[in-house]
Structure 1
């Protein structure tokens, strides 16, 4: 749907995306001079008195490949930038898209309303020109040149924090897009994905899915402990993450994929050992652990650079990177629990140590977020994640299965 004349500014402020013409096109030479044009046009952002509510990142696509267009639309990205109005009209006749058109350093919608400007940044001086002030509200698409991307992007994020305008960066592949979206943790407001390879669309959508931008919740349920037995030695896995966990957070781990226990991190202080808020003493090598994409992995398969899902007491989850995995032989405890219906039993092995705990549903005045396995007893209630049991290479499938 095109941006209307009356809502052009609002649309541009909430979801600007754009792209640049290929280097061989005539308009590209105009873009190269966008820094000086930016000065003459007084193109700046207007700072907001209060930080805006967190918005979802936005993606606009620049391509001349119909397969790329189809892949983008199927994944919810329907705004495209064109250098030719004829191509834009042709594509609009076959798909429901929002076409934008580039003309020199400016970007217009279908009603010829300017929604953005393009600024090329290849030096510190050009970067200084892209700064917010109170002159007028427009949006900026930045084409980072000269080899440097990370530091200039971080400087832009810092300069525009709390502003009502939108800043996007041109990305020529999904990896570049990730750099811009993660600059200074907050990232730029979005990216302009300028590609002709459908794989980059797929990879970027997968990135958004893994990063859980929607901040969705996993349903957790209470289960009652029915057995706690000391069983002997086993090879257990400590998962050290590249992120800090807070009280109430941990990994979903279980002997059966149909029921995963929320195993608490070692973020809690103790008298005998310093807290390790990056670590989850997760269980033995055979256990399942939840990973992005609705999949599971064996704990033994985790290694540096892999990703897992960190979940909190309320089911909110985020994707984190594994920094290190430690497998050592330690004494184990077998824990079994039943759901409230009593129809299903879940199982997990954990190291027999005071620093290993399961997350409980209790909160509020009690202040208890986790129960150490050394204090766990029959009748205690802990949190589990119920899901389909049958798995093939970590992917849930519909088939007959018995696990015991």
Structure 2
């Protein structure tokens, strides 16, 4: 493998940390999912759980404040260009120092743990191949302006290999590009920055995408009222992602109880499947977005992130591609949790393609119940949470909603 040189004896430092990032499939495991038979709207959803994928991030910095920001977030392995600097920084924080020597990276026992390679042409990219790898970790510094396509080529070339491949990123946005290349992404990034803002943004990115540890608790609620109420302005949310049977958005008239509204991924005799769409409800309704927040449906815009949830509470983020607001006939649905203490409500368009998600553990095997077939006594899934909100953020205050 062609290895570039870097300035030895540099005062540069790398802050190394690991974070978990959920992805639909790992580099080592291809997950093939066959489309389930769509005989009716009442059907079972896939129970396959997402696979957890570990990502490695090294932060390259000369800024002590950036180092402190990493330590405060639990990241404690650092790489230094000089042992003097490593000892200096070790005096202010409990860290695990590693060291750069030219194009190579060593641990405290002088064992080589990584090599650094510059890639600025297709020929240099070809030299970075699994058969040429002699160390556990490979750090690639993409030069010449091209990043996405070379990163995708590396992901394809190294799939199934044990080596860890990282790319040098000069900001959190570039890091995200490398982490998502060909959906799986590289194994990690080297974040070469001197601003704490990039540390914060990348950590926030991992927090928002760390779906494996963020399963949302859902509970059953019993439908107590179904009433056609007249016309209203309802919102269709079209995503830049496909949804599977059993997935939808959390929507509700009250933030204290959000209904799981199914996507239009199911085919019928009268209309084609639209697996990117959720006919979510009227403009006033709340919808769950990342960060434990809610947004009004009327506030959604192209490019905004939203949370897609399945009937088991597993969630993932998706990007809003388009929002359509149109006047349509509405139906009011009210439901009570099984304790009988709280009542939740939601307005939905009165159409066969609009459905609420129910638990699939019962004998009926139903997953989605169309609002046109919904009756008193049916059980649907809701998410219970705090009701008081300020700009979508949950707060502690007295509130009455009815």
Q: What TM-score does the superposition give when structure 1 sets the normalisation length? A: 0.86
Q: Kindly state the Cα deviation for residue 135 of structure 1 after the two structures are TM-superposed.
A: 7.0
Instruction: Please give the alpha-carbon distance, in whole angstroms, between the structure 2 residues aligned to 1:47 and 1:224.
Output: 21
Please name the residue that 1:46 is paired with: 44
Larger strand proportion of the pair: 2
Instruction: Please give the alpha-carbon distance, in whole angstroms, between the structure 2 residues aligned to 1:40 and 1:100.
Output: 55
Q: Kindly state the Cα deviation for residue 80 of structure 1 after the two structures are TM-superposed.
A: 2.2
Instruction: Please give the alpha-carbon distance, in whole angstroms, between the structure 1 residues aligned to 2:44 and 2:15.
Output: 14
Q: Kindly state the Cα deviation for residue 92 of structure 1 after the two structures are TM-superposed.
A: 1.3
> For structure 1, which segment, 334-343 or 128-137, has the greater mean C-alpha deviation from structure 2 after superposition?
128-137
1:366 is paired with a residue whose SS is coil
> For structure 1, which segment, 101-110 or 210-219, has the greater mean C-alpha deviation from structure 2 after superposition?
210-219
Change (3 A) 1:21 1:261: closer
Q: Kindly state the Cα deviation for residue 334 of structure 1 after the two structures are TM-superposed.
A: 0.4
Q: Kindly state the Cα deviation for residue 17 of structure 1 after the two structures are TM-superposed.
A: 8.2
Change (3 A) 1:63 1:365: same
Change (3 A) 1:7 1:61: closer
Please name the residue that 1:2 is paired with: 2
Q: Kindly state the Cα deviation for residue 6 of structure 1 after the two structures are TM-superposed.
A: 27
Q: Kindly state the Cα deviation for residue 216 of structure 1 after the two structures are TM-superposed.
A: 2.6
8 Å Cα contact 2:105-2:114 kept in structure 1: yes
Q: Kindly state the Cα deviation for residue 16 of structure 1 after the two structures are TM-superposed.
A: 8.7
Gaps of 5+ in 1: none
Instruction: Please give the alpha-carbon distance, in whole angstroms, between the structure 2 residues aligned to 1:45 and 1:291.
Output: 27
8 Å Cα contact 1:307-1:320 kept in structure 2: yes
1:35 is paired with a residue whose SS is coil
Instruction: Please give the alpha-carbon distance, in whole angstroms, between the structure 2 residues aligned to 1:256 and 1:82.
Output: 52
Instruction: Please give the alpha-carbon distance, in whole angstroms, between the structure 1 residues aligned to 2:141 and 2:45.
Output: 22
1:364 is paired with a residue whose SS is coil
Change (3 A) 1:362 1:215: same
Change (3 A) 1:14 1:225: farther
Alignment of 1:186-335 (within 5 A): 186-335=184-333
Gaps of 5+ in 2: none
Larger helix proportion of the pair: 1
Q: Kindly state the Cα deviation for residue 66 of structure 1 after the two structures are TM-superposed.
A: 1.6
Change (3 A) 1:44 1:270: closer
Q: Which runs of 4+ in 1 moved over 3 A?
A: 1-25, 27-31, 33-36, 39-55, 134-137, 363-367
> For structure 1, which segment, 288-297 or 84-93, has the greater mean C-alpha deviation from structure 2 after superposition?
84-93
8 Å Cα contact 1:45-1:136 kept in structure 2: no
Q: Which whole-Å deviations, capped at 9, do the CAs of 1:323-363 have from their partners, x for residues lacking one?
A: 00000000000000000100000010000000000000124
Query: RMSD across aligned C-alpha pairs, in angstroms?
Result: 11.5
Residue correspondences, number: 400
> For structure 1, which segment, 92-101 or 206-215, has the greater mean C-alpha deviation from structure 2 after superposition?
206-215
Change (3 A) 1:76 1:2: farther
Instruction: Please give the alpha-carbon distance, in whole angstroms, between the structure 1 residues aligned to 2:113 and 2:34.
Output: 18
Q: Which whole-Å deviations, capped at 9, do the CAs of 1:165-189 have from their partners, x for residues lacking one?
A: 1000011100000010000000000
